[in-house]
Amino acid sequence: MPDPSSSPPPVWRLALPVPLPRLFDYRPPDGETAVAGDVGSRVRVPFGSRELIGVVAEVGAPEGGTELRSALARLDPEPLFQGELLESLHWLARYTHAPLGEVLATALPAPLRRGEPLPDTHAWAWQLTEAGKTARERLRAGKPRRLADRLHDGPCDEDRLDDELDDWRSAARALAKRGLAERIAVPALTLAPRAQPGPALNAEQQVAVDAIHAARDGFAALLLDGVTGSGKTEVYLHAIADCLARGKQALVLVPEIGLTPQTLARFRARLGVPVHALHSGLSDGERARTWTAFARGEARVVVGTRSAVFLPLPEAGLIVVDEEHDGSFKQLDGIRYHARDFALVRGKALGVPVLLGSATPSLESLRNALTGRYTHLRLQQRAGQAQPPSVRICDVRKRPLEAGLSPELFDAVARALDADGQVLVFKNRRGYAPVLLCHDCGWSAQCQRCDAPMTVHGGGRRLQCHHCGARRPVPDACPDCGGLALQPQGAGTERIEEVLAARFPDVPVLRIDRGTTQRRDALEQHLAAFGTQRGILVGTQMLAKGHDLPNLTLVAVVGVDEGLFSADFRAPEKLAQLLIQVAGRAGRAQRAGEVLLQTHHPGHPLLATLIAGGYHAFADSELEQREMAGFPPFAHMAMLRAEAQQVDACDAFLRSARDALRDTGAPLDVHGPLPAPMPRRAGFQRMQLLLSGADRRSLHAALDAALPAIYAAPEARRVRWSLDVDPVDL
Ligand code: ADP
Ligand code: ZN
Ligand code: ZN
């Protein structure tokens, strides 16, 4: 035991949100002492000329110099980060090789990151005032009257009103103005909707629910591998209900475009507890309230996108990742984490099952299921009455095409409409046309800041770059030859919409893409207005999932050929997933569905395998090819990227990084430096260095050993660089 009077008082070792891979020592504010229980608390500190919010990572004896600065304030009476969450975030920092301070900042909603105190977590509800109770029956029919009638039985919380009544907020304001209703704060857990029963499970669903039940007392990874419409969501609902019945919390992760009001309403109606939503459309304040409600154990269920994986779960019982193959679970900038993979890490640390669901599982998860690391649960039948759609290839070689659509496609659309059905024409390219070409000299409109053509928009009047956002009008004449033969080449959703509207003037044609559907609820509103009448939907992958369109009988897929010949080794997997998901939109209810696949490559092995054997046949052959080629999941990869005004600066930095990695002597393949797939973007030159190794551990050991030199290299100061472990876009 050292003599306490002779050793200096302990200091805080802080994780700060700065791009430096180390902790920073600070003394506590004057008159305070640093104790082990401070770990996980936020503190405000001076840093250079700024102030930063840091988190106490360790408490210990000061190292080296004695001239330590003092922290300005301790912000949390109780540590904000505790137990499992803190440990898992430490793991994430090690795995992504990112500074702990940046990882912790990423895990927090913005107000908490800024150092604000934990917010009030009351829920808000509405109730009639005494005056409102007596006046209710005298109110004229209309929205305020409907709301008053709804509140007649007692207070109702705002989430539930959102589900039940349109436009209730304006009605509530009208009642409040007349003193007839008031907004009240209520403890978050008191106002639960009554749980409604669902359909009786079929045999396959019951097997899955039983397996999850059997696994509920510890960590287990389960892959719910079920065709579209097979009732996976019903299985989640049963598993979550069981988790709630045991008094535990459930986290449900869904893809960016899967979190629709329809989905939420389904969870709310069935579970009988308040269901929180967490997505990018919420205000910072709402996000902070949800985070806090989970930390306090008040909230029980959240359905959220990627960042919901950072919620504290002190009473965790279950984690569900729906559509686990979806690309939106991977964050592509800042801390490049994969929410599904981090969910598995948390499940293990929490000792709870993690249920991954998909109709088209990622090859990583599928392999884990096939080798027995994950429990493989399969749903091979569509639930209820629905039948799988029939798939037909439409060979368009030598056929006359209009906006890329063949006569056979128009005929099929006409037939479906004649039978009072709905049609979806799927093309994964928004805008009017992907290229503007001069027919006289071959000039095409390129973005001035990116190595990419500009997309034609606005019916042919505007040019827009989908990579940097640059816009300009379509020129009157060719800038190169002065000719007037500028022609849009190819077709995006806008042009397809135009052609279909001209061909089928007596039915509505609705286009759904990021151009028409900026806001989260816009998609829902458009589809609700479209209803179940006969008509045509034209859309990008925004329409590939999430919505039940019971009257959809034909799905026509055009433009798949572009995906068949990509350099990215993951392109076939992404294309197969997209095709199966889009095809799965057809025939979800009583009516039979048909899928028409237009292609110039009817004999392409990917299409042949997919149609003859379905996703699993494709996945088997793709896994074999990945194994032969030494690609994930049979190898582990990391990507070092650099961008700068000068390509030489990127090259020099990546070369020095390559040397540092080679010096470690680790058994790694290092490819590059090579230009990125898009070598120039938004005015920056971009290069990359790909690392690949058969063994995950030696890849990480090499990175650990080389990163100090990479950070310190003089070449690093002339570029913006980043490291991406398990990159998804090569
Ligand atoms: P998935 O999530 O696999 O796409 P859902 O859970 O959304 O499938 O189910 C698809 C449709 O089938 C929904 O309308 C759902 O209500 C219905 N459904 C699910 N399970 C059953 C069942 N056991 N019996 C009858 N209908 C079911
Ligand atoms: Zn020209
Ligand atoms: Zn651009």
pLDDT the model gives residue 513: 82
At 388-447, the pLDDT tens digits run 778 889 999 999 999 999 999 999 999 999 999 999 999 989 999 999 999 999 999 999
Rounded to whole angstroms, the Cα distance separating 152 from 252 reads 34
8 A C-beta contact, residue 520 and residue 279 = yes
Under DSSP, is residue 225 helix (H, G, I), strand (E, B) or coil? Answer: strand
Average pLDDT over residues 82-87: 96
Distance between Cα 434 and ligand 3 center (Å): 13
Distance between Cα 237 and ligand 1 center (Å): 11
8 A C-beta contact, residue 392 and residue 597 = yes
At 632-677, the pLDDT tens digits run 999 999 999 999 999 999 999 999 999 999 999 989 999 999 999 9
pLDDT the model gives residue 440: 94
pLDDT the model gives residue 341: 98
Strand 353-358 to 375-379 pairing:
unpaired
For residue 316, what pLDDT band results from cuts at 50, 70 and 90?
Answer: very high
DSSP one-letter string for 266-300: HHHHHHSS-EEEE-TTS-HHHHHHHHHHHHTT---
Q: Which ligand is nearest to the CA of 589?
A: 1
Average pLDDT over residues 256-282: 85
pLDDT the model gives residue 561: 85
Q: Which ligand is nearest to the CA of 320?
A: 1
For residue 464, what pLDDT band results from cuts at 50, 70 and 90?
Answer: very high
pLDDT the model gives residue 6: 64
Q: Which residues pair with 226 in a beta bridge?
A: 379
8 A C-beta contact, residue 521 and residue 257 = no
Average pLDDT over residues 95-111: 97
Average pLDDT over residues 222-238: 95
Nearest to 464 by CA among 427, 441, 492, 439: 492
**Token code pair at residue 421:** 């059905």
Rounded to whole angstroms, the Cα distance separating 101 from 15 reads 4
More reliable by pLDDT, 467 or 589: 467
**Cα-to-chain-centroid distance, residue 699:** 27
Q: 356 Cβ partners below 8 Å, 6+ apart?
A: 221, 222, 223, 224, 321, 324, 340, 365, 374
For residue 273, what pLDDT band results from cuts at 50, 70 and 90?
Answer: confident
Nearest to 686 by CA among 677, 676, 696: 676
Pocket test for ligand 1, best of 209, 234, 580 (most atoms within 8 A of CB): 234
Nearest to 723 by CA among 50, 5, 95: 95
| Ligand 1: residue whose CA is nearest its atom 12 | 383
Under DSSP, is residue 160 helix (H, G, I), strand (E, B) or coil? Answer: helix
| Ligand 1: residue whose CA is nearest its atom 10 | 229
Position 524 pLDDT exceeds 80? no
| Ligand 1: residue whose CA is nearest its atom 24 | 384
Distance between Cα 305 and ligand 1 center (Å): 22
Rounded to whole angstroms, the Cα distance separating 464 from 474 reads 10
Strand 509-512 to 535-539 pairing:
parallel
Question: Average pLDDT, whole number, for the chain?
Answer: 91
DSSP one-letter string for 562-575: HHHT-SSTTHHHHH
SS3 assignment for 313-333? CCCEEEEEEECCCCHHHECCC
Position 543 pLDDT exceeds 90? no
pLDDT the model gives residue 545: 65
Query: The tokens 């589809």 sit on which residue?
Result: 527
pLDDT the model gives residue 192: 60
Distance between Cα 478 and ligand 2 center (Å): 5
Position 590 pLDDT exceeds 80? no
**Token code pair at residue 200:** 């009786």
**Token code pair at residue 204:** 């396959």
Describe the crossing of helices 232-245 and 203-214 by its angle, rounded to 10 degrees. 40
Under DSSP, is residue 229 helix (H, G, I), strand (E, B) or coil? Answer: coil
Rounded to whole angstroms, the Cα distance separating 567 from 571 reads 8
Distance between Cα 437 and ligand 2 center (Å): 8
Distance between Cα 491 and ligand 2 center (Å): 21
Position 9 pLDDT exceeds 90? no
Nearest to 294 by CA among 264, 350, 249: 249
More reliable by pLDDT, 243 or 385: 243
Task: List phi, psi (to 5°) of 481.
Answer: -110, -5
pLDDT the model gives residue 160: 79
Q: Pick the range with the lowest mean pLDDT from 176-180, 304-308, 512-516, 723-727.
A: 512-516
> Residue positions in the annotated binding site?
438, 441, 447, 450, 465, 468, 478, 481
* Prediction ipTM score: 0.97
Task: Report how far apart, in Å, the C-alpha atoms of 506 and of each of 447, 501, 502, 554, 669 are.
Answer: 39, 8, 9, 18, 60
More reliable by pLDDT, 1 or 437: 437
Nearest atom of ligand 1 to the alpha carbon of 226: 3
Under DSSP, is residue 106 helix (H, G, I), strand (E, B) or coil? Answer: helix
Rounded to whole angstroms, the Cα distance separating 96 from 181 reads 51
| Ligand 1: residue whose CA is nearest its atom 6 | 231
> Residue positions in the annotated binding site for Zn(2+)?
438, 441, 447, 450, 465, 468, 478, 481
**Token code pair at residue 698:** 């030696």
| Ligand 1: residue whose CA is nearest its atom 9 | 231
Rounded to whole angstroms, the Cα distance separating 230 from 208 reads 12
Q: Which ligand is nearest to the CA of 683?
A: 3
**Token code pair at residue 329:** 């679970």
Would you report the helix, strand and coil content of the chain in percent, each value rounded to 5?
35, 25, 40
Nearest atom of ligand 1 to the alpha carbon of 235: 6
Rounded to whole angstroms, the Cα distance separating 568 from 351 reads 36
8 A C-beta contact, residue 143 and residue 172 = no
Nearest atom of ligand 1 to the alpha carbon of 379: 3
At 335-384, the pLDDT tens digits run 999 999 999 999 999 999 999 999 999 999 999 999 999 999 999 988 87
Nearest atom of ligand 1 to the alpha carbon of 386: 12
Distance between Cα 682 and ligand 3 center (Å): 5
DSSP state of 309: G
Task: List phi, psi (to 5°) of 80.
Answer: -75, -45
Length of the chain: 730
Position 292 pLDDT exceeds 90? yes
* Burial of 8 (C-beta count, 10 Å sphere; 0-12/13-18/19+): exposed
For residue 193, what pLDDT band results from cuts at 50, 70 and 90?
Answer: low
**Token code pair at residue 51:** 């102030």
Describe the crossing of helices 696-712 and 647-663 by its angle, rounded to 10 degrees. 130
Ligand 1 pocket (Cβ < 6 Å) reads 199-202, 205, 226, 228-234, 383-384, 548
Position 321 pLDDT exceeds 90? yes
Rounded to whole angstroms, the Cα distance separating 354 from 320 reads 6
Query: The tokens 């397996």 sit on which residue?
Result: 211
Rounded to whole angstroms, the Cα distance separating 373 from 367 reads 9
Distance between Cα 688 and ligand 3 center (Å): 19
pLDDT the model gives residue 541: 79
Q: Residue 48: what residue type? A: G
**% of the chain surpassing 90 pLDDT:** 73
Q: Which ligand is nearest to the CA of 438?
A: 2
Strand 24-26 to 11-15 pairing:
antiparallel
SS3 assignment for 467-535? CCCCEEECCCCCCCCCCCCEEEECCCHHHHHHHHHHHCCCCCEEEECCCCCCCCCHHHHHHHHHCCCCE
pLDDT the model gives residue 66: 63
Pocket test for ligand 1, best of 233, 355, 356 (most atoms within 8 A of CB): 233
8 A C-beta contact, residue 687 and residue 654 = yes
Of the CA atoms within 13 Å of residue 437, those in its CB half-sphere come to 10
Distance between Cα 544 and ligand 3 center (Å): 27
Q: Which ligand is nearest to the CA of 225?
A: 1
Q: Where are the alpha helices (DSSP H) in 130-231?
A: 130-135, 143-151, 158-164, 168-177, 203-214
DSSP state of 416: H
At 12-64, the pLDDT tens digits run 999 999 998 899 999 999 989 999 999 999 999 999 999 999 999 999 988 76
pLDDT the model gives residue 196: 83
| Sign (positive or negative) of CA dihedral 158, 161, 165, 168 | negative
8 A C-beta contact, residue 591 and residue 384 = no
pLDDT the model gives residue 181: 94
Nearest atom of ligand 1 to the alpha carbon of 227: 3
